[in-house]
Structure 1
Amino acid sequence: MEKKILKVHPKDNVLVAFVDLAEGEAILYGDQVYILKDNVKAKHKFVTEDLRTDDQVIMYGVLVGKAKLPVPKGAVLTTANLKHAATGFHTGEHHMEWHVPDVSAWKDKTFNGFHRTDGQVGTANHWLVIPMVFCENRNLDVIQEALLNNLGYGRNENYQAQAKELMALYEKGASVEEILNAQTSYTEKAEPKNRMFPNVDGIKFLTHNGGCGGIRQDSQTLCGLLAGYITHPNVAGATVLSLGCQNAQVSILMEEIAKRSPDFDKPLYILDQQKTGTEADLLSDAIKQTFAGLIQANVNVRQPAPLSKLCIGLECGGSDGFSGLSANPAIGYTSDLLVALGGSVILAEFPELCGVEQNIIDRCVDPADAARFAELIKTYSDRATEAGSGFDMNPSPGNIKDGLITDAIKSAGAAKKGGTSPVVNVLDYPEKVTKPGLNLLCTPGNDVESTTAEVGSGANIVLFTTGLGTPTGNPIAPVVKISTNTVLYNKMNDIIDLDTGSIIAGEETIEEAGARILNYVIDVASGNTTVSAVRHIQDDFIPWKRGISL
């Protein structure tokens, strides 16, 4: 029989609809019957008791909002009758007992990765071309045009045939309506091009809008992020272009590299345009040096490595009312499995931990980390409020439309990505992961900014859950897209890799899905499976300026 509703936690006073429910329908849960006062769409919630103004709404066992006005039993929750509210938090001596999952099935498993001299192991092998300042972006475009297609790294999609057919129709006098209704052909996936350097997965150009202007701290942070990418295990080396006079000086970049890799020995070519002279000389030197770097990078080959060398970033975007019930807890279990195997995971997106801070604080192994987390999230929240916003404004229109009415509802589900293991370290952007286990990283909730940051801190694979669909990827780390519901997977399976709608359908447990995801991660890490974001060359890279970005 089709499952219609779910009570997530015994303390909850809401029920989640798994399917569309009609006004007046009698819903049986346990020994209680609820007569619905409204139509309740799938993913949305209705209350199980009469609420007065300012009464608490509990979901996942935590406070997720308060009633704006009286809400009768059986009524659907909306932005009209529910406002954001979350419990406070405090630090102190807290102890947690973690029930370590059984990892015997993965005990002797390995992945084939690229071993670096500092002990890190990459899941890919890329060469980077990086500007120190936005003034050099145009030069990167020229280098990209010169190298990518010639060396076999161009995009596989080929819509040229469609464009030519449209041109021919226009030349024959076709109207706008005829053009729009024309049955043209296109090849979505062209044949892969032969690469001159088969062991190099890509040449990645990290264009950005920073490096000068703003405040000096922005440039220091940008240099830290770029250093995180240069020293990343998925990177073989880099070409760096500097104008010369910008705030983000090469000397700062080198200091940040030394922090992360004191014995840094990757090939690194640095060019200064103001010292070099003509643009032509700069570009010629950059192309030659990049080509020389690719020859060196191509020497690297995949070799077996223990799963403890994996560092997984945990991300969600385009979340829906099923995110906290299927995909997020599934990768939370994957996270627990990897931690038990000695690997590292990163939970970020601090605005989406609002309301569950106490649970996270209680999981911190070191009281100093608990205090740092509390301070970081309080400072972030205060700055958002000072800017005229706040964490309560985090849910997007898409989130709200699909059941995430308040930031606390969204956060309680988003935190499930972190599983149940202890927190071993709390990092501020763009610090590097240095400890195995669950690491917290202060980032925005913005999908690309957060994914960019997690990779910069060391994630060599990212697990990205979505309920609405998003193409988000990263230049150097595979981003595995996981749908929360099967309708989305079937609709957008060209950009989604895995589906956890089976959990909602009752066909698979959270633990079974989490184990399945870990096996998929091992295949991706070994280069046996290419995820959609990599296949489409979805190279999203947005550094976080420490202004407010929710």
Structure 2
Amino acid sequence: MRREKLAYLQIHPKDNVLVALRDLAEGTAISFAGQEFVLREKVKAKHKFTIAAMPKDEPVYMYGVLVGKLNYALDAGALISTENLRHAADDFHLGTRKLEWDKPDVSAFVGKTFNGFHRSNGTVGTANHWLVIPLVFCENRNVLTLKKALEEKLGYQVASKDYTNEVDTLIQKYQAGASVDDLLQIDLSNSAEGKQKSKLFPNVDGVKFLNHDMGCGGTRMDSDALCGLLAGYVTHPNVAGATILSLGCQHAQASILRDEIAKRDPNFDKPLYVFEQQLEGTEQELMHKAIKATFAGLAQANQQERKPATLDKLCIGLECGGSDGFSGISANPALGFLSDILVTLGGSVILAEFPELCGVEQELSDRCIDEDTAQKFMSLMQVYNAKAEADGSGFYMNPSPGNIRDGLITDAIKSAGAAKKGGTSPVTAVVDYPELANAPGLNLLCTPGNDVESTTAEVAAGATIVLFTTGLGTPTGNPITPVVKLSTNTPVYERMPDIIDINCGTIIDGEETIEEAAHRILDYVIRVASGEEQPKAVQLGQDDFIPWRRGVSL
């Protein structure tokens, strides 16, 4: 049912600015809360303007929290910009527990199931992958050699997405005498597409090869964290087993990886093959053993089949990237409502990106189930920000040029909207990178705001589906966990249909409520978790994997 599309919005009763929901011309008459004034200048959609005259240093509130202070006085109807607003956020402290919340109506989802892969430790995967992982960057070439040998032959190469057919077209035109200008005008949209080979192992979704640039030469803290991260992938519900390539002399030893695996799954029983090049000798000997082990492992993994599981077995990672001024009022609160539904059903959700929780620390710490959990969250935030400040790049520098251009002009504004993904339920666990964060309820996981680093970490922490909101568009994916992309506005959904799965601009357009959007998203998640739908990132083979170096990354 279509509803009236508003021109501007006050997000929270405490807010002293309004958000433009469409482009508003200079001189536009604004009527709000009994006041009448006109806009002093053009205000683009997603940006904010004042609702009353405000003196210099006046606090600016959005989402009911402090998001900045004015550099100079403004009249009513003035555009808020980086020139007149500076970052500011409230301090936080250990407060009283605020654990009461309004549980959503979940009757539409009670009894629903998804078809997943049941593991011996009680977890359920939404996919079934085999991993090939280097313990150190020295083994990247060998991993790529395995990929070249296995991927296409087994039917796991992404069809028609390498653009070799387009290059063939250009070669033919060039050899036929096309000029430089002619080449630039050639239409490549009709180039022939390659055919996808059928999978030899139909119950295995993919063989995934996780290259990285770590494992030695850095700090021991980084190499230990890498082993923890990789252990999270090996033990992940979406993984059937793994082939590990080690050089032998690096910091990230196979013994450390095995210890980290045992921490996460003491009764680990998946097939795990570890090969050390310095012991095997020649590359050929290493490759022969790795190929045989991987092939045998795939044959074993292929014996597993999807079976029904209740929705409490889902673990949803919440992520945003390329955010805009609509993120906090459309896609993010829709995910927040979905989060509350899943928590009510007994499932798990992960809210990460700690630099994008700056300014909402008090609310989140008050929602922690006990004081120890609240104290851990506050300590992680303080230590992380202090490290960033020491290196000359505090949380206040988090917004990107794209964020700023589309209305997120301070980190506190960005954070207040980003936190909406976490809904309103109590925080049941606070977890430091790279540990598991799959306890029932809302988990807070310390990660950077960097899209790929954070998504990589959420998956290692247990996320079996990642819901990723974007206002500007981003192709981010993950090797083993489906990443569902949700647009905050309709134009980006229509402009980038090859990477966006779901449009939440319908909320801005007045076509559905936040609750209705959340129900639609969860229905889609169930289909993805059952293998009935493939998100665009999976279709494109968008296998992004970047471990976090524990230094500063915002």
TM-score by length of 2: 0.98
Give the stretch that moved more between structures: 165-174 or 458-467: 165-174
Q: Does structure 1 conserve the Cα–Cα contact (< 8 Å) formed by 2:350 and 2:438?
A: no
Residues 154, 502 of structure 1: alpha-carbon distance in 2 compared, 3 angstrom cutoff? same
Query: Alignment partner of 2:172: what SS?
Result: helix
| CA–CA separation in structure 2 for the residues paired with 1:419 and 1:185 | 43
Q: Which among 183, 206, 209 is matched to residue 210 of structure 2?
A: 206
CA shift digits 1:422-448 (9 cap, x unpaired): 000000001112420000000000000
Task: State yes or no: 1:103 paired with 2:128.
Answer: no
Report how far residue 183 of structure 1 moved: 2.3
| CA–CA separation in structure 1 for the residues paired with 2:386 and 2:340 | 32
Q: Does structure 1 conserve the Cα–Cα contact (< 8 Å) formed by 2:349 and 2:438?
A: no
| CA–CA separation in structure 2 for the residues paired with 1:435 and 1:402 | 35
Report how far residue 190 of structure 1 moved: 4.5
Report how far residue 462 of structure 1 moved: 0.3
| CA–CA separation in structure 2 for the residues paired with 1:343 and 1:83 | 39
Q: Does structure 2 conserve the Cα–Cα contact (< 8 Å) formed by 1:161 and 1:186?
A: no
AA matched with 1:72:
D
Residue 47 of structure 2 aligns with which residue?
44
AA matched with 2:240:
A
Q: Does structure 2 conserve the Cα–Cα contact (< 8 Å) formed by 1:160 and 1:186?
A: no
AA matched with 2:201:
F
Report how far residue 300 of structure 1 moved: 0.6
Task: State yes or no: 1:8 paired with 2:11.
Answer: yes
| CA–CA separation in structure 1 for the residues paired with 2:190 and 2:352 | 39
AA matched with 2:78:
A
Q: Does structure 2 conserve the Cα–Cα contact (< 8 Å) formed by 1:316 and 1:466?
A: yes
Task: State yes or no: 1:62 paired with 2:70.
Answer: no
| CA–CA separation in structure 1 for the residues paired with 2:195 and 2:282 | 38
Report how far residue 2 of structure 1 moved: 3.9
Task: State yes or no: 1:81 paired with 2:89.
Answer: no
Q: Which among 393, 415, 418 is matched to residue 419 of structure 2?
A: 415
Runs ≥4 in structure 1, deviation > 6 angstroms?
none
Report how far residue 187 of structure 1 moved: 5.0
Q: Which among 312, 315, 319 is matched to residue 311 of structure 1?
A: 315
* Percentage identity across paired residues of the two chains: 64
Give the stretch that moved more between structures: 31-40 or 484-493: 31-40
Q: Does structure 1 conserve the Cα–Cα contact (< 8 Å) formed by 2:24 and 2:43?
A: yes
Task: State yes or no: 1:144 paired with 2:147.
Answer: yes
TM-score by length of 1: 0.99
Residue 242 of structure 1 aligns with which residue?
246
Residues 50, 188 of structure 1: alpha-carbon distance in 2 compared, 3 angstrom cutoff? farther
| CA–CA separation in structure 2 for the residues paired with 1:97 and 1:188 | 58
AA matched with 1:88:
D
Q: Does structure 2 conserve the Cα–Cα contact (< 8 Å) formed by 1:127 and 1:235?
A: yes
Query: Alignment partner of 2:233: what SS?
Result: helix
Residue 20 of structure 1 aligns with which residue?
23
| CA–CA separation in structure 1 for the residues paired with 2:194 and 2:30 | 51
CA shift digits 1:358-397 (9 cap, x unpaired): 0001100021000000000000000000001110100000
AA matched with 1:512:
E
Residues 66, 474 of structure 1: alpha-carbon distance in 2 compared, 3 angstrom cutoff? same
Residue 124 of structure 1 aligns with which residue?
127
| CA–CA separation in structure 2 for the residues paired with 1:452 and 1:188 | 34
Residue 362 of structure 2 aligns with which residue?
358
Residue 304 of structure 2 aligns with which residue?
300
Report how far residue 270 of structure 1 moved: 0.3
Residues 339, 330 of structure 1: alpha-carbon distance in 2 compared, 3 angstrom cutoff? same
Query: Alignment partner of 2:279: what SS?
Result: helix
| CA–CA separation in structure 2 for the residues paired with 1:236 and 1:188 | 35
Q: Does structure 2 conserve the Cα–Cα contact (< 8 Å) formed by 1:161 and 1:185?
A: no
Q: Does structure 2 conserve the Cα–Cα contact (< 8 Å) formed by 1:124 and 1:201?
A: yes
Residues 395, 300 of structure 1: alpha-carbon distance in 2 compared, 3 angstrom cutoff? same
Report how far residue 189 of structure 1 moved: 6.2
Q: Does structure 2 conserve the Cα–Cα contact (< 8 Å) formed by 1:9 and 1:60?
A: yes
Report how far residue 31 of structure 1 moved: 1.9
AA matched with 2:490:
T
CA shift digits 1:18-66 (9 cap, x unpaired): 1101111212223222211111000000011222221101111110000
| CA–CA separation in structure 2 for the residues paired with 1:535 and 1:188 | 18
Task: State yes or no: 1:328 paired with 2:332.
Answer: yes
| CA–CA separation in structure 2 for the residues paired with 1:256 and 1:58 | 44
Report how far residue 507 of structure 1 moved: 1.3
Q: Does structure 1 conserve the Cα–Cα contact (< 8 Å) formed by 2:173 and 2:183?
A: yes
Residue 166 of structure 1 aligns with which residue?
170
5+ residue gaps, structure 2: none
| CA–CA separation in structure 2 for the residues paired with 1:162 and 1:217 | 45
Residue 545 of structure 2 aligns with which residue?
541
AA matched with 2:548:
W
Q: Does structure 2 conserve the Cα–Cα contact (< 8 Å) formed by 1:114 and 1:121?
A: yes
Report how far residue 505 of structure 1 moved: 1.1
Report how far residue 188 of structure 1 moved: 8.3
Residue 453 of structure 1 aligns with which residue?
457
Report how far residue 186 of structure 1 moved: 4.3
| CA–CA separation in structure 2 for the residues paired with 1:189 and 1:343 | 41
Report how far residue 288 of structure 1 moved: 1.1
Q: Which among 394, 398, 405 is matched to residue 394 of structure 1?
A: 398
Task: State yes or no: 1:516 paired with 2:517.
Answer: no
Residue 227 of structure 1 aligns with which residue?
231
Task: State yes or no: 1:525 paired with 2:511.
Answer: no
Cα RMSD after superposing both structures: 1.1
Query: Alignment partner of 1:282: what SS?
Result: helix
| CA–CA separation in structure 2 for the residues paired with 1:28 and 1:201 | 55
| CA–CA separation in structure 2 for the residues paired with 1:68 and 1:288 | 66
| CA–CA separation in structure 2 for the residues paired with 1:225 and 1:186 | 42
Query: Alignment partner of 1:429: what SS?
Result: coil
CA shift digits 1:449-495 (9 cap, x unpaired): 00000000000000000000001000000000000011111111111
CA shift digits 1:321-377 (9 cap, x unpaired): 000000000011000000000000000000000000000011000210000000000
